[in-house]
Every structure is written in structure tokens, then in C-alpha cells.
Structure 1
Amino acid sequence: MEKTDKIYVAGHRGLVGSAIVRHLEAKGYNNFVYRTSQELDLRDYHSVRNFFIEEKPDYVFLAAAKVGGIVANNEYPADFIRDNLMIQTNVIDCAYQAGVKKLLFLGSTCIYPKFAPQPMKEEYLLTGELEPTNEPYAIAKIAGIKMCQSYNRQYGTRFISVMPTNLYGPNDNFDLETSHVLPALIRKFHEAKVNDEPSVEVWGTGTPRREFLHADDLADACEFLMLNYDSSEIVNIGTGQDITIRELTELIISIVGYEGNIHFNSSKPDGTPRKLVDTSKLLNLGWKARIPLKDGLVSTYRHFASCEA
């Protein structure tokens, strides 16, 4: 991937896509093509096909997806499986038809079984039942992986699939109805502080363990893999470290400066008990995450608070 190659980042305004664009621009890449979701509906095959015929990108980062936390996945399962299947099917097929040199498909660690051994190795895919609360999304992502592998086998394409752990950073979704746990907690405690609320409710028991990767680290890993990885086998991207939701909550409270009480509502779902990925494959390739969780949370909260001001 040369600095002048035409690069299409699908989903360039989201958490992952915007981080990839920032990172690549900082590295000197200068030939990007973008379309907003209003300009190009990736669920519409003919529009996507026309876009690829017109623009002829050399490299594609497929970061566009319908994403959300437990609440959104529970309430809109049909939307999650339909939209994601349509988006990735259209982009992957049209990338092949247009002769794209290489494509990177962004999956998710929710593809792994609910009770997969920890840390989760790439070979645990399809060895057990999925977490019910995000099964439609996970099935769509698994289909994307298999589609990339199948196109590589049948057509000789260079489509790679990466599985990032839980992500956070600038341009995250902080909507309480559709966001993941980390941005939701930031918003909850920020608003509680601003409104001087005496207590805040947090879903679940606080005992599940989660791993968190800053989007800027993910972007760096994506460029690294575009340059250095060509296998059809999936690759985990993470930090190799996790914390409990209670520990995350307490860390966010200290950063936000909220002084009220916390109530963990155990009647609400916890989701998967633990999600820690085995990053040995990526470490052996020569890449390691660099942003400590506390530093990343501080910068993410500053970004959120500045947008709210």
C-alpha cells in the first residue's frame, strides 16, 4: 500500500473509520475517497457497484457497520443482522468485481462462543453457542469472515479479517440507548455530575470482565496488517488485559469527578461473563497496543466533554 494509492474507508465518520483516516493521514497517505451514508447507502448493491466502478479504489478498509450495546442489540435484532449482512456483502463483492488490491474487513470479538476459554484464540470461532444478546450481529460478522475467506479461495483475492476487542475513543457513540458500555458510562456519570444527581444506576452485577482498546491503537494495527499480513485466517486485535465492569465504572467516576452513589442493577443482563482475546498471533507478527486504558479514558472524556460544552 503506497502513499499515493487510492484508499476507500467505508464508515469514515464513525469511531473506527475516523481513527483509520486520522492515522493514515498522519502517516502521509494522501489519496482517499469517502462517501457519507447519505451520499452512498451501502445496503444498496447497485449504488455500491456504481461507486466502485466510478472510483476504482486500490485498498478498502471496511469499517462501516451497524453497531450498538446490549440495549440496541436486544431491541433491534432484525436491523443488526439485515443491515450488516447487506453492507458487508455489497462492499466485499463489489471490491472483488472492481479488482481491489486488498480489503480489510473489521469483525468483532463477539463472534466467539459465549463460554469460550479465556483468553480467546482465533481457532475458537464456531466451537460453541454465541451470546444470545448479540447473536444476530455476531452471525452477520461471521458471515463476513467466511465471505472473505471464500472469495480468497475461489477468486484469489487478498481479503483479510481482523477481530478487534471492545473499542473506545473520539467519535464514539455516546447515546444511552444504542452505545456500548464504556461510552454509556461516561455519559451517565458526566450528566449525573452536571445535574448533581445523588446516584447512578449501572446495568448488571459489575462482575463481567472486559478488554478495551483505543481506536487509535486499532487504526495503527489495521495499517500494520494491511502492510504485513495476507492470510485468510482471522487475527485478534487487543491489549491482552481486561478489567471488571465495576473497576471500569470506578475508573470513569474518578476521571469524571462524580461524587454520588452507584447502584448495580443485577436484574439487568450482564452479557458474556468475560471477553479477553489472545493476541499472541499479532504479537508474533510484531505489533502491540501502546495506549494505557487510563490515558485513553482521560482523552476520550475530554473529547466528549468538549463536544457537550
Structure 2
Amino acid sequence: MEDGPGMFGMISAASRTSLPVSEEARARARVRFRVLGPLHAIAWAVAAYASVPAYFDTFRVMAMNPVTLWSTPDVEAGFFVSIGGFFGGVMLASILGFSAMWAAMKAYGTFRLGNQASMSFSMAGIAVGLTAALVGGLWTAPAEVGVEAATEHSAAVPWGTWAWVMYYLPVGLAALFALLALWFTVRFFHGNRRSGEAEATQARIRATGWHVIGQITQVHFTNRWLMGLPQFEIEVAYHGSMGPSRISCMVVTEPTEAPQKGGQVDVWFDPADPSQVVVEAGPAASPNPTDGYLFMPRD
């Protein structure tokens, strides 16, 4: 018997769960993501820019200055003006971000790539907003660098660790989110390259491999919903180049098209390397589609 990990419509890559999306739908999703990605990055940039006078600068001033200098006209004015921009930016960025992530998941075929593509725009937008706040002078300078300034009631006190951390916060925050943006971007391009290689292998096996009909022998609902779609683990029996074979596959479908035991799937494999398998579940995988949601556990 040949046993190996598999994936719905994919080359045996158990960590890669793909959405059941047609090529036409993926092309439309790419167009939407190219619009939504930059828009939600701009919204995050606005929120990050406004977050400096709304929140971060207030706590920074409190860490570096004596209590008598915590509240200044500039600090108070900046807080009340920017807090609306912060909350408005966060709300808009969240709405656009969800739409962008959903479009990216459809565009690139997997949840992981969609999330990485969306997060790269989010982190880049925040980094740009924090950098603009730094360059634009939104951060309040301390009364004295290295010490809490003397007042009529107290002498000057050297800064502790926390005050120094907050002093370098403007540069540190911008650098942190810039590095996160770079990390998500690199991860996305690396994953997208591997995805392209897997799709090329899949196309080669479909074109040159052997095609047989497999039968679903086991269906297990994983109790996971991926963006509103249920995920199943199925076992498929088929006749391979060396006799009866089985392969385990992760399947994501519409709830009313859940795979059922006894259903049929298309199986392609490379006769020279039987471990290279492509499994595709079509309508025949769910012979009784009216039984939708029967996979849900009953109380």
C-alpha cells in the first residue's frame, strides 16, 4: 500500500490548504487585492501617524519628564485632535484589511499566502505612518535628556531603564514594523515561489501522469472552519502503479458540497514516482449534496 500526505487539488503538501476557487475567480481576486492592499496600507499609515500624539507620546512624556511637565498645551492639543484620526483609521483599516486578506487568499489560493500578503501591506503602512510621525516632529522632546528635570519641589533624577526605552521608542517602533513588513514580504515571495513550483508539478502530472478514479473511504470533519468553509480530512483508495493505494487529503469545500464516504474523486499520479499525487474532488465526491451540514456534530 502507498500512503502519503495529500491536499485537495494539490501535490502532497499537508501544510498547504487551498480554497476551492476557479482560475477566473483567482484572476478577479488579484485585481481586487491590488486595489485593496494599498488602500488598507494607507489606512494603517493614518492610524499609526495619529497614534503618536493620541497615545504613545503621552506615555513617553510621562516616562521622561517629572509629573509637573506631563501635561502641556501641545500634548493636550495633539491628544484631542488625533484620537479621532486614530480610531477612524483603525476602523477603516480593519474593514479594508479583512477584505484585502480575503481577496489575497482567493488570489493566491492558500490561507497562508493570503495572510502573508495582507500582513505585508499592513506592517508597511504602520511603518510608513510611524516614520512620518518621526520625521514630522510629532514626538515631544524631553525637558532634559538623561534626567528628569529639576522642579521647585524636587531635584533632577537620572533616567531609569524604562525612560531610556521610551526615549528611543520613536525610532524603535518605526524600525520594528519596517522589519515586520520585510519579514512578511520575504515569507510571501518565498511561499509564492514554492506554490508556483507545486502548481507546475501538478500541471505536469495532470498532463503526463496516469489518471484513475479514487473512492473516498473515510471522511473526518476537523472541526475547523477556514473563512467560513469547513475543512475535512479524507482517505482515498485508488489503483496505483503498484496495486491498491491510499492517500490522506485535506479538503476545503462549501458546506453543502461536503465529501461523503463512497464518493468519487479524480486521482493523477506519476508512474515513475507514485508518491507524486494530485487529488481533485468534484461533484462526484458528494453524491448526496442535499445532505449539507450533516457533518456537523450533534448535541
| TM-score in same-fold range (> 0.5) | no
User: Which structure shows the bigger proportion of residues in helix conformation?
Assistant: 2
User: Which structure shows the bigger proportion of residues in strand conformation?
Assistant: 2
Larger radius of gyration: 2
Higher RCO (C-alpha 8 Å, min separation 6): 2
Q: Which of the five TM-score ranges fits, normalised by the shorter chain?
A: under 0.3
